[in-house]
Chain A
C-alpha cells in the first residue's frame, strides 16, 4: 500500500497497460465465454424480437399489405403458368442428379445455425455454431434457398460472428443473369448492397437476378444475392451502378447454413 501511494503514477500506468493487454489477448475468449453462457437467452430474445417486429410491421403497413396482396395474386397466376414448364425441367434435373450422384448435401457440407444477436452499428450477427461444431474463419453462410448471407469473421467456442454481405466495405464479384455481365458488389451498410463497375454499354434490366460467380469472386458460384432494383447510368461516371434488392432479409431469417467444405 505504501509503495502504491508513493508511486501512484507507475501504479496507474501499469493498471492501464494491463487492461489494454487483457483486451488485446483476451477479447476473443471473453466474447466466447459470454456467448456460450447467454446463448439460450439471446436466442429467445431474437425469436421474440423477430415475431414482434413482424407483427408491428404488419400492423403499421396494413394498407401496403392490401396492395402487395393484390400484386402477389397476379404474380401467382403468372408463376403457376411457369410452374408447369418448370416441373418438367425439375424432373429431368432430378433424374440427372440421381444419375450423377449429386444433391444439395453433396454440393456443400453444411452446418445448420440460427442467429442469436445483431450488432446495432454494423451488419454483423452472432450465430449459434462455433469452433466445436467445426466452424472456422472465412466460411460462407447461406440460407436453405442458397441465398448468400455472409462470411464467418470471428469464431468462438459455441458461437461465431458473421459479417453480412451488406456490411460497409464488403466487396465480391457477381454476375447478372441472362447478360453474362460481371459486376462488383459492394456492401453499403444498413442492409444495403450496390453493384459497381458495370460496363456502360451493358443493358441491365430491373429485376435481373444477381448471383455469385465462383471462388475468384470471393464466394462459391451460383449463390443467389438478389435482384437489380434500380440502375444509374450517368455520363459523368465511367461505369454503371445498380442497387440490389437483397433476397436475405434479417427479419425473416430463421435458419442459416454454414458451408463447411
Chain B
C-alpha cells in the first residue's frame, strides 16, 4: 500500500508542481501564493497511519518538485519537505486527530515551519518572511479539509486508523 501511495503521489505531485509554477504564479497576492504541494504534503502526513512512514518519502517528493522550479541549491526543498513531514509526525501523537482544531493547528504550524526554514536558509539572499503566504495556504488547506469532510473522505481514513 505505501508503494502505491508513493507512486500516485509522484504522479499527482508532478501535475501540481507544473500547475503551481505555470498557472498559480499569476495569482500572487502581495507576494503570497498558494502552494498546493505543501498543503498536500501536510494533509498526507496528518492523515497517515501511525506505522506508515511513507509520509517522509512523500515530503521528499514534494520538495523534489519544488526544487525543480527553484533557483536555489538543489535539495533545499527536499530537505525542507522531509523536515516538515518529520515535524508533523512528531507533533501528531500529542493531538486528537479527529478534531478540526488539531488539523488547523498542525496545518498552521507546518506552514509556519516551512516559511521559517526558508527564511533562515535564504537569509543572505534577501528572502523575507512572507506571512501572507502562510495565511493563503492556511485558508486553502482549511477549505480543502471541509470539502473532503463533506464527502466523508477524512472520516473514512479516521475509521481505518482506529
Contact = CB atoms under 8 A, between A and B. Distances in A.
A116 B68 CA distance: 13
Interface stretch (A6-14, A37-45, A218-226, A227-235): A37-45
Contacts of A161: 71
A120 B26 contact: no
A27 B72 CA distance: 10
Given A23-B75, A45-B23, A119 B69 contact: yes
Nearest to A251: B26
Contact of B26 (A24, A28, A38, A49): A49
Interface in B32-50: 33, 35
Nearest to A45: B22
Interface in A22-40: 23-24, 26-28, 30-31, 34-35, 38
Interface residues of B, number: 30
Candidate in A53, A116, A117 with the most chain B CB atoms within 10 angstroms: A117
A31 B68 contact: yes
Contact of A169 (B25, B75, B118, B126): B126
Contacts of B69: 117, 119-120, 126
A52 to B, nearest CB: 7
B74 A46 contact: no
A122 B127 contact: yes
Contacts of B35: 120
Contact of A42 (B18, B73, B74): B18
Given A27-B75, A31-B74, A50-B26, A168 B127 contact: yes
A45 B15 CA distance: 10
Chain A interface helix/strand/loop/mixed:
helix
A118 B127 contact: no
A56 B118 CA distance: 30
Contacts of B21: 42, 45, 117-120, 126
A49 B74 contact: no
Contacts of B19: 45
Contacts of B109: none
Contacts of B28: 120
A34 B75 CA distance: 15
B158 interface: no
B145 interface: no
Given A50-B26, A120-B35, A45 B18 contact: yes
Given A20-B75, A30-B74, A124-B71, A117 B22 contact: yes
Contacts of B68: 30-31, 34-35
Contacts of B127: 121-122, 168, 189
23 contacts: A19-B75, A23-B74, A23-B75, A24-B74, A26-B74, A31-B68, A41-B18, A41-B22, A42-B22, A45-B18, A45-B19, A45-B23, A46-B22, A52-B26, A117-B25, A117-B69, A118-B25, A119-B21, A119-B25, A120-B24, A120-B35, A163-B71, A189-B126
